[in-house]
Amino acid sequence: MNTKKSVFSKLFGKKPLTTTQLKKQKVALGLVDEINYEFQYLEEETNRMSYVVEEWFDEKFNEFYELRSDLRSIYFQNSEAYISSADVAGDKEKLEEIKVKADELGIDVNDVYDTWQEHMNALEYLDSLESKFDDQRGELSSIGMS
């Protein structure tokens, strides 16, 4: 141990530290390491929050505002004039009449009106779309949009 003290004093030009002094320095060094780690975490978290507050929010809020305006305009202010089942209510009746007459004559309805089935399918699809549109409007209403 004596040799060790002698080498240290020659290398560093001072008295070697006692065991107690070394323990105090270890504790102090441990605290510095701990606070350094906490500071790094603080920097990472403030950088992350800074991005959200300074950049992300404005970008996303503008996107949200535009999307909300579009949804409100289409679903609640009727900015788009879509055809409705009521607009073509007479079509279904006429198609049914054509079918009855064709059946009475014993001929295929498509021989009388070659797009009869496609026309009927389009009317049924329109009914389905209107129902989905109403469901979507209900979803939007349920989150406070009107």
Burial class (CB in 10 A: 0-12, 13-18, 19+), 17: middle
Q: Where are the domains of the chain?
A: 1-81, 83-146
- Whole-model pTM: value is 0.63
Model confidence over 89-117: pLDDT tens digits?
999 999 999 999 999 999 999 999 999 99
Model confidence over 44-81: pLDDT tens digits?
999 999 999 999 999 999 999 999 999 999 999 989 88
